[in-house]
A and B are shown apart, each in its own frame.
Chain A
Amino acid sequence: MRQDYFVLFACCIPVKGHSRSTICDLQRNSFELIPNILFEILTEHEGKAMQTIFATYHHEYNREIEEYLDFLVEKEYGFYSAEPQSFPKLDLTWHNPFPVTHALVDFDEKSKHPLPHIVKQLTAMFCPAIELRFFHAPSLEVLENTLQTFQDSPFRSVQMIAGYSKDLTIAQLTALAYQYPRLQSLVIHSTPSENIPASSDISIPHLTFIEQNLSSEACCGNISPRYFTVNRQFFTEAQTFNSCLNRKISIDKRGFIKNCPSMTQHFGHIEATSLADVVKQQAFQKAWHISKDQVTTCQDCEFRYVCHDCRAYVANPGNALSKPAKCRYNPYEATWEAATIG
């Protein structure tokens, strides 16, 4: 005889959308689509004995309910147990010690803002991660000097995006990655398709060549299942904070300090304003607190805690809380417009 209670593993969290739901598996980094009726059984009747659940539905759906739950057991989302009280839920509070967790600095060939000045300020705030986007094709020397800036700094991750140039060889870039272990990823954009190397020619995992043209900040803000992130950090942060902008600071290609380089509002120029002062401003932190639960349409979407938000390009520029403009998903119909899938 089967045990009395069904329990979801605490890392498998049901999220209700308008027309269907997901179970987000924060441990195995995946999700499962489920019907809303199953969401109801898992949440409203959580902790109730199987027999009680059957009775709630007047014993009309005993077999269906059992089949659903057996499916979840088979997929290892949950288990039957005699002691559900021993398995508390996951606390979904997001914890992070850093006042700024992520910095984004943009450059094009006309940029004048000096990186060392920026890095020094971020270092004082113990910012652990930085992303540098070169919309143009910088020389090897520029890339080297850039990475040199991070020697003896507390940054744990440096990511770079740079434009393609035939003068940058795979060998040179590989050597660069070996010399600077902080470099976690290097993406070379605008690569002519005939020059994209076979993956077997690249010996390190963090070097990628892509055809896509990332020559301005407008390349950002895309919403697609490709960018879904299903893990504990992301999911807990998205409960109360903006999944793109929280504790982020950006310096755009002209040196203006912003939440995101694609946004128009700025909080001063890097030459005259200190990053630490900007980070403390309530006006600057406002965007950090726009969670998906506040965004129209997104709040009804079953993907809202695994999807990156975008506040720079919104569907209705008159409404700061409207959904990301580049999202093609309709949670009311549970359909994707074909264009962005792939």
Chain B
Amino acid sequence: MNRTWIIVGATSSMARAFARKVAEDGCHVLLAGRDLADMKRTKKDCELRGAPSAYAVMFDARKPGTFDEICVKAAVQDGEINVAVFVGSMPEQSAIDTDPTLIDGTIQDSFTGPAQLLHRLAPLMEERGCGTVIGVGSVAGDRGRLSNYVYGSAKAGFHTYLAGLRNRLGRSGVHVVTVKPGFVDTAMTWGIEGMFLVAAPESVADDLLKAVKKKRNTIYTPWFWRYIMLIICHVPEFIFKKLKI
């Protein structure tokens, strides 16, 4: 059967690594993101790696008008439609403290924008009765903390949305995977102090494909973050509120 992956936030290195793997696996690829020139290169890369077709379309989480083209392109693809959402933005918490209006954009990029797009694609996927949604959240969404709680709360909202979407789409044979990456070696983390056990985007992409195959609901990547977050989430609030992590 024809398989298509819609990859949202396609200029990130995690998305690029994922796009390559599904392309080599023979899937059609629809790349959506803001830097069209960059995505055109990735589109060609996907075609040359084995994607029977690849497209690059504009997507801006803050401009719902840009979602139309993705929905139109998705509807004309035969067979199984899959979506992987890699978008999100993480301004420095100090920048947000100076300018609280940045909160809106962070939430649009990391939560409401992708949620709206998924909501518009959901009926099509239900109709096809197959396929997978991968939503990339973050371990930052598991507990609010000093250094990035605006980004964290946006991702927490996205996690809850994905759980609900899983509940809905599961009834028609569509699976939803929630992904919580720890530190991944991307442009977002390059040069930030305090990074440890950083995972390569390629190994994250492998984890995603494994989770799709095994129909996992929520995965941490790399896997040990499940245990790190288990500990962090179990620190009593009266202690946690005094910590600086």
Q: Do the two chains bind?
A: no
Q: What residues make up the interface of A, taking CB atoms closer than 8 Å to B?
A: none
